[in-house]
Amino acid sequence: MLDIILQQLHDHGMVQLANVLDSSELTLINDFIEEKKNEFLPAKVGHGAQRMRNEAIRGDYTLWLDPKAPPEIFQKLTLLLGNVLEALNSRYYFGLRDLEYHLAYYPEGFFYSRHIDAFGKDPSRVVSFVFYLNETWNKEDAGELVIYNHDGKEILQKITPAPGTMVIFLSREFPHEVLACHKERRSLTGWMHNKILE
Ligand code: OGA
Ligand code: MN
Protein backbone atom coordinates (compact mmCIF):
# COMPACT_ATOMS: atom_id res chain seq x y z
CA MET A 1 0.00 0.00 0.00
CA LEU A 2 2.83 2.41 0.87
CA ASP A 3 4.35 2.07 -2.58
CA ILE A 4 1.08 2.91 -4.34
CA ILE A 5 0.59 5.95 -2.11
CA LEU A 6 4.11 7.24 -2.74
CA GLN A 7 3.96 6.64 -6.47
CA GLN A 8 0.60 8.39 -6.90
CA LEU A 9 1.65 11.34 -4.76
CA HIS A 10 4.82 11.67 -6.75
CA ASP A 11 3.13 11.35 -10.15
CA HIS A 12 -0.18 13.17 -9.52
CA GLY A 13 0.16 15.05 -6.23
CA MET A 14 -2.79 13.12 -4.89
CA VAL A 15 -3.92 9.61 -4.10
CA GLN A 16 -7.23 8.03 -3.26
CA LEU A 17 -7.53 4.53 -1.79
CA ALA A 18 -10.70 2.62 -0.91
CA ASN A 19 -11.26 0.45 2.16
CA VAL A 20 -8.18 1.51 4.09
CA LEU A 21 -10.26 1.08 7.25
CA ASP A 22 -12.57 -1.94 7.55
CA SER A 23 -16.05 -1.99 9.02
CA SER A 24 -15.01 -3.23 12.47
CA GLU A 25 -12.46 -0.41 12.73
CA LEU A 26 -15.07 2.10 11.60
CA THR A 27 -17.52 0.82 14.21
CA LEU A 28 -15.01 1.38 17.02
CA ILE A 29 -14.15 4.84 15.72
CA ASN A 30 -17.82 5.78 15.45
CA ASP A 31 -18.47 4.60 19.01
CA PHE A 32 -15.63 6.91 20.04
CA ILE A 33 -17.16 9.81 18.09
CA GLU A 34 -20.55 9.23 19.74
CA GLU A 35 -18.91 9.21 23.15
CA LYS A 36 -17.05 12.49 22.45
CA LYS A 37 -19.81 14.23 20.49
CA ASN A 38 -20.28 17.03 23.02
CA GLU A 39 -16.55 17.87 22.93
CA PHE A 40 -16.54 18.77 19.23
CA LEU A 41 -16.30 22.53 18.59
CA PRO A 42 -17.72 24.52 15.69
CA ALA A 43 -14.93 25.05 13.15
CA LYS A 44 -14.08 28.71 12.59
CA VAL A 45 -12.64 30.65 9.68
CA GLY A 46 -10.25 33.62 9.50
CA HIS A 47 -7.34 34.57 11.74
CA GLY A 48 -6.72 36.18 15.12
CA ALA A 49 -9.45 38.53 16.28
CA GLN A 50 -11.32 37.95 13.02
CA ARG A 51 -11.70 34.27 13.72
CA MET A 52 -15.36 33.37 13.69
CA ARG A 53 -17.99 30.84 12.82
CA ASN A 54 -19.23 31.30 9.28
CA GLU A 55 -21.47 28.49 8.12
CA ALA A 56 -21.61 30.03 4.65
CA ILE A 57 -17.93 29.02 4.39
CA ARG A 58 -17.65 25.90 6.53
CA GLY A 59 -20.14 24.06 8.68
CA ASP A 60 -18.16 21.28 10.33
CA TYR A 61 -17.48 20.56 13.99
CA THR A 62 -14.03 19.33 14.97
CA LEU A 63 -12.25 17.52 17.75
CA TRP A 64 -8.43 17.72 17.64
CA LEU A 65 -6.58 14.58 18.68
CA ASP A 66 -3.12 14.45 20.23
CA PRO A 67 -0.87 12.89 17.54
CA LYS A 68 1.63 11.92 20.24
CA ALA A 69 -0.97 9.89 22.13
CA PRO A 70 -3.80 8.89 19.80
CA PRO A 71 -6.46 6.55 21.18
CA GLU A 72 -5.75 2.89 20.41
CA ILE A 73 -8.52 2.71 17.79
CA PHE A 74 -6.55 5.08 15.54
CA GLN A 75 -3.40 2.98 15.65
CA LYS A 76 -3.58 1.59 12.12
CA LEU A 77 -4.27 4.98 10.67
CA THR A 78 -1.52 6.76 12.60
CA LEU A 79 1.00 4.03 11.79
CA LEU A 80 0.20 4.43 8.11
CA LEU A 81 0.52 8.22 8.29
CA GLY A 82 3.87 7.90 10.05
CA ASN A 83 5.11 5.55 7.34
CA VAL A 84 3.94 7.87 4.57
CA LEU A 85 5.66 10.82 6.25
CA GLU A 86 8.94 8.96 6.68
CA ALA A 87 8.86 7.66 3.11
CA LEU A 88 8.10 11.10 1.62
CA ASN A 89 11.13 12.42 3.51
CA SER A 90 13.52 9.63 2.64
CA ARG A 91 12.50 9.18 -1.01
CA TYR A 92 11.51 12.68 -2.04
CA TYR A 93 13.07 14.98 0.57
CA PHE A 94 9.78 16.56 1.63
CA GLY A 95 11.27 17.77 4.92
CA LEU A 96 8.15 16.88 6.88
CA ARG A 97 8.59 17.33 10.61
CA ASP A 98 5.23 17.03 12.31
CA LEU A 99 1.59 16.20 11.83
CA GLU A 100 -1.77 17.16 13.25
CA TYR A 101 -5.30 15.90 12.73
CA HIS A 102 -8.84 16.27 13.93
CA LEU A 103 -12.06 14.36 13.75
CA ALA A 104 -14.77 16.26 11.94
CA TYR A 105 -18.45 15.94 11.33
CA TYR A 106 -20.70 17.97 9.08
CA PRO A 107 -24.34 17.94 10.14
CA GLU A 108 -26.83 17.28 7.38
CA GLY A 109 -26.95 20.17 4.91
CA PHE A 110 -23.51 21.58 5.75
CA PHE A 111 -20.45 21.99 3.52
CA TYR A 112 -17.00 23.60 3.25
CA SER A 113 -16.69 26.00 0.34
CA ARG A 114 -13.66 26.01 -1.95
CA HIS A 115 -10.35 26.69 -0.22
CA ILE A 116 -6.65 25.83 -0.09
CA ASP A 117 -5.32 24.18 3.07
CA ALA A 118 -1.95 25.97 3.20
CA PHE A 119 -2.61 29.66 3.77
CA GLY A 120 -2.02 32.61 6.14
CA LYS A 121 -1.65 31.01 9.51
CA ASP A 122 -0.77 27.56 8.15
CA PRO A 123 2.03 28.07 5.61
CA SER A 124 3.81 24.98 6.93
CA ARG A 125 1.11 22.58 5.74
CA VAL A 126 2.56 20.46 2.94
CA VAL A 127 0.43 17.33 2.76
CA SER A 128 -3.31 17.04 3.51
CA PHE A 129 -5.05 13.78 4.32
CA VAL A 130 -8.63 12.65 4.95
CA PHE A 131 -10.10 9.34 6.08
CA TYR A 132 -13.84 8.91 5.66
CA LEU A 133 -15.48 7.37 8.69
CA ASN A 134 -19.17 6.85 7.99
CA GLU A 135 -20.14 3.17 8.12
CA THR A 136 -22.42 3.58 5.12
CA TRP A 137 -22.58 6.18 2.37
CA ASN A 138 -24.86 6.25 -0.66
CA LYS A 139 -24.58 8.41 -3.72
CA GLU A 140 -27.65 10.42 -2.70
CA ASP A 141 -25.95 11.30 0.59
CA ALA A 142 -23.75 13.64 -1.54
CA GLY A 143 -21.02 15.43 0.50
CA GLU A 144 -18.37 14.74 -2.13
CA LEU A 145 -14.85 16.16 -1.89
CA VAL A 146 -14.27 18.09 -5.13
CA ILE A 147 -10.63 18.65 -6.04
CA TYR A 148 -9.73 21.34 -8.60
CA ASN A 149 -6.57 21.93 -10.55
CA HIS A 150 -4.16 24.60 -9.31
CA ASP A 151 -5.91 27.59 -10.90
CA GLY A 152 -9.33 26.29 -9.92
CA LYS A 153 -10.71 26.16 -13.46
CA GLU A 154 -10.99 22.43 -13.84
CA ILE A 155 -12.42 19.67 -11.66
CA LEU A 156 -9.87 16.87 -11.30
CA GLN A 157 -11.70 14.55 -8.92
CA LYS A 158 -15.07 14.23 -7.26
CA ILE A 159 -14.59 11.84 -4.37
CA THR A 160 -17.44 10.11 -2.55
CA PRO A 161 -16.75 9.92 1.18
CA ALA A 162 -17.17 6.16 1.13
CA PRO A 163 -16.55 4.13 4.32
CA GLY A 164 -12.83 3.69 4.96
CA THR A 165 -11.63 5.64 1.91
CA MET A 166 -8.43 7.63 2.34
CA VAL A 167 -7.36 10.67 0.30
CA ILE A 168 -3.95 12.34 0.46
CA PHE A 169 -2.95 15.40 -1.57
CA LEU A 170 -0.39 18.19 -1.69
CA SER A 171 -1.82 21.04 0.38
CA ARG A 172 -0.53 23.87 -1.81
CA GLU A 173 -1.51 22.42 -5.18
CA PHE A 174 -5.20 21.79 -5.02
CA PRO A 175 -8.14 24.04 -4.21
CA HIS A 176 -10.97 21.81 -3.00
CA GLU A 177 -14.41 21.90 -1.45
CA VAL A 178 -16.83 19.68 0.43
CA LEU A 179 -20.29 19.66 -1.11
CA ALA A 180 -23.35 19.80 1.12
CA CYS A 181 -24.09 16.41 2.63
CA HIS A 182 -27.56 14.95 2.99
CA LYS A 183 -26.75 13.12 6.19
CA GLU A 184 -24.12 13.61 8.87
CA ARG A 185 -20.69 13.20 7.32
CA ARG A 186 -17.72 12.06 9.43
CA SER A 187 -14.00 12.16 8.74
CA LEU A 188 -10.54 12.35 10.21
CA THR A 189 -8.68 15.18 8.51
CA GLY A 190 -5.14 16.41 9.00
CA TRP A 191 -1.91 17.81 7.71
CA MET A 192 1.79 17.05 7.59
CA HIS A 193 3.95 20.11 8.28
CA ASN A 194 7.47 21.12 7.41
CA LYS A 195 8.02 22.53 10.90
CA ILE A 196 7.56 21.30 14.44
CA LEU A 197 4.19 22.38 15.78
CA GLU A 198 3.91 23.93 19.27
C1 OGA B 1 -10.68 20.33 5.30
C2 OGA B 1 -11.19 19.62 4.11
C3 OGA B 1 -12.08 17.62 3.11
C4 OGA B 1 -13.05 16.52 3.38
O5 OGA B 1 -11.09 19.99 6.42
O6 OGA B 1 -9.86 21.27 5.13
O7 OGA B 1 -10.98 20.12 3.03
O8 OGA B 1 -13.36 15.78 2.44
N9 OGA B 1 -11.81 18.43 4.25
O10 OGA B 1 -13.54 16.41 4.51
MN1 MN C 1 -9.32 21.47 3.09
The pTM assigned to this predicted structure is 0.98
Residue 87 φ/ψ, nearest 5 degrees: -70, -40
pLDDT for residue 49 = 82
Q: Which long-range contacts link 93-98 to residues 24+ away (Cβ below 8 Å)?
A: 94/126, 94/127, 94/192, 94/194, 95/126, 95/194, 96/126, 96/127, 96/192, 96/193, 96/194, 97/193, 97/194, 97/195, 97/196, 98/67, 98/192, 98/193, 98/195, 98/196, 98/197
Cα(190) to ligand 1 centroid in Å equals 8
For residue 63, what are the CA distances in angstroms to 11, 34, 103? Answer: 32, 12, 5
Candidates 145, 146, 147, 158: which one to mutate for ligand 1, based on the most atoms within 8 Å of Cβ? 145
For ligand 1, residues with CB inside 6 Å are 112, 117, 130, 145, 176, 178, 187, 189
User: Residue 181 has what DSSP assignment?
Assistant: B
Residue owning the nearest CA to atom 1 of ligand 1:
189
Per residue of the chain (198 residues), give pLDDT as tens.
Answer: 999 999 999 999 999 999 999 999 999 999 999 999 999 999 999 888 889 999 999 999 999 999 999 999 999 999 999 999 999 999 999 999 999 999 999 999 999 999 999 977 688 999 999 999 999 999 999 999 999 999 999 999 999 999 999 999 999 999 999 999 999 999 999 999 999 998
What the chain holds in terms of domains, given with CATH numbers, is 2-43+66-193 (2.60.120.620)
| pLDDT value for 122 | 84
Give me ligand 1 centre to Cα 130, in Å. 7
pLDDT at 119: 76
Amino acid identity of residue 65, one-letter, is: L
Encoded amino acid at 121, one letter = K
Distance 185 CA to ligand 2 centre (A): 15
Cβ contact 174:156 at 8 Å: yes
